[in-house]
Amino acid sequence: MSTFDAAYTFAHQGIVPGYLLAHLARSERYPHAAQAARQTLIAGRPAFHAALELSIDENGDLVAEVAAAPTRTIFDAQNTETLPGLIVRTEDDEPVADDTVNEAFEGLGATFQMLLDAFERDSLDGAGAPLNATVHYGEDYDNAFWDGSRMVFGDGDGEVFVGFTRSVSVIGHELGHGVIQSTAGLVYRDQSGALNESIADVLGALTEQHLLGQTADQASWLIGEGIFTDAVQGRALRSMLEPGTAYDDDELGKDPQPAHMRDYVQTVEDNGGVHINSGIPNRAFALAATAIGGHAWQGAGLAWYRALTGDLSSTADFTEFAEKTIAAASGIGSTVESAVRDAWIAVGVIEDARDRNPR
């Protein structure tokens, strides 16, 4: 194991996997990005708000309703690694001149709105927790991460990665870790850690789809689309529908995610493969959502959310989570239940009972 491989053996909930940064750290084609990746690997990671809505009822009377709304604060680290940084935009401020600040602000809002509209969840903790984010973290920092209390965005190196605020799925993913932290608290290692990463991907994808009003069939199912420069042979960091196909670049290597349990990667790196093996439950979700059709947050998304917020154990493996999602889907409808069950069978997590009991 190299120095750069070893640097990412601790629990790190960044959107860019350590194995990808380790590849980049050795790059000769991208010297600036290689230096940025080395710096990123070494650096590691270090009240209720309401909206008043006014309307006129059928009698012509003014009606005031209080609805949940986000409390957002954006900080600027000014290219240092000191958190949180200086406050540069708060909830009631107008957009500022810095696009990165505004992108972060809008991405936090999009995630908040998806959680509220889809699951009636008021912020990450369900109780209106404020949403904080720090931008311009470090110099050429090639990642974005959830540090347990806030989102942190690097600017990228400009050679391989561009600014991470450009991807709503990245923002939704990292805030998704906050939802997981306040619910099942999935241990960030092995299969429970891969579920942690996968569920964060689900929430990131749903945030993007909800913002764009997309159905499951219209969605790209890509996580981190747009954060690579044109120099990279790749579409995104991950493909939920087609794990293992997001990128294939001479310097970065090939997307290593498996799509089926027969290809499950046994490794001590990446906290037991949390970023790698998350491809298996990712594909299960995308298959279920596209089979159900319509908006993914209304069918498969609701089943996944109910499983996460139910009695799921913090060390759940893929099989336990599959069983919980199937049970949750049964309360939504037979079509949803069938699609969820078939999806888990398709990726090899559970067996098809029909194969064990032939007629």
Question: Residue 84 and residue 78: Cα distance in Å, rounded?
Answer: 10
H or E, element range at 111: helix 99-119
Give catalytic status of residue 23 as yes or no. Answer: no
pLDDT on residue 64: 45
Give catalytic status of residue 275 as yes or no. Answer: yes
**pTM (2 decimals)?**
0.86
3-class DSSP state of 155: coil
**Tally of CB atoms within 10 A around 64:** 8
Q: Which fold has domain 3-356?
A: Neutral Protease; domain 2 (1.10.390)
Task: With beta carbons less than 8 A apart as the criterion, state whether 197 and 11 touch.
Answer: no
23, 136, 159, 174: which one is catalytic? 174
Would you write out the chain's pLDDT as a tens digit for each of its 359 residues?
A: 333 333 333 344 677 777 787 778 778 788 888 788 777 776 665 533 444 444 555 665 544 455 688 999 999 999 999 999 999 999 999 999 999 999 999 999 999 999 999 999 999 999 999 999 999 999 999 999 999 899 999 999 999 999 899 999 999 999 999 999 999 999 999 999 999 999 999 999 999 999 999 999 999 999 999 999 999 999 999 999 999 999 999 989 999 999 999 999 999 999 999 999 999 999 999 999 999 999 999 999 999 999 999 999 999 999 999 999 999 999 999 999 999 999 999 999 999 876 655 54
Question: Residue 5 and residue 140: Cα distance in Å, rounded?
Answer: 19
Domain segments of the chain as ranges: 3-356
User: Which amino acid type is present at position 238?
Assistant: R
pLDDT on residue 2: 39
Tokens describing residue 138: 């470090």
12, 136, 210, 275: which one is catalytic? 275
Residues in the chain: 359
Question: Residue 105 and residue 76: Cα distance in Å, rounded?
Answer: 12
3-class DSSP state of 151: strand
Q: Write out the DSSP string of 261-295.
A: GGG----SSHHHHTTTTTHHHHHHHHHHHHHH-S-
